[in-house]
Structure 1
């Protein structure tokens, strides 16, 4: 079930961005039913066993979907983000969301995980969990 704070986040966006956020949240939540979801660092994020897996955030000209371990997925549709293992996909309209791609990436997010939960404790060192 989608946390009410995520619903509130989605509803504060412009109409076009709201459609993107709602579509993303519905698909993510349906595919990761056992995941905890909440607002984390002011953005919707889904966690498995306390480890952040996927989330999205409003950028100036798009909505960014972020997979924390996405660089390890081997997916051309995701672009490198940051200096760790994250990868992203940016959307400017709901029609750009490929449900098949998203479901495949979500399955990979379950199978391929780097330990972000303990990254501070390990002083920035990431260890692969799965």
Structure 2
């Protein structure tokens, strides 16, 4: 895993650090071919240059984000923003359901919208998979 992500996790409170470390380990394990880095100040995993999953520290929680998550048809994931992203927020590590997360990560590989070329296409998203 990218050293910058490990450093990001270390900067969090102990409770949030536990959430971040668990998310990072599960995402890394289930997206072995993904590039991971700090992008817009948050850990993000990319497949072929396209962002698919990541997390960020919010004021009261850690937000797990799937860029194409609205297309996953998953009740627990809530719509985020005006594109196709969906999120789930955690306030403690015990809330992380590994089976759910692994299923969502599988869908993140199978269902992708082209965020990589969003600016080039002037805000129009095209489904890749």
TM-score by length of 1: 0.99
* Distance in 1, Cα, partners of 2:52 & 2:79: 15
Aligned residue number for residue 76 of structure 1: 75
Aligned residue number for residue 128 of structure 1: 127
**Structure 1 stretches of 5 or more lacking a match?**
none
**Structure 2 stretches of 5 or more lacking a match?**
none
* CA drift at 1:25: 0.1
* Distance in 1, Cα, partners of 2:113 & 2:28: 20
Q: Which runs of 4+ in 1 moved over 2 A?
A: none
Aligned-pair Cα RMSD in Å: 0.2
* CA drift at 1:55: 0.4
* Distance in 2, Cα, partners of 1:89 & 1:105: 11
* CA drift at 1:74: 0.1
* Distance in 1, Cα, partners of 2:71 & 2:10: 32
* Distance in 2, Cα, partners of 1:24 & 1:126: 27
* Distance in 2, Cα, partners of 1:101 & 1:90: 13
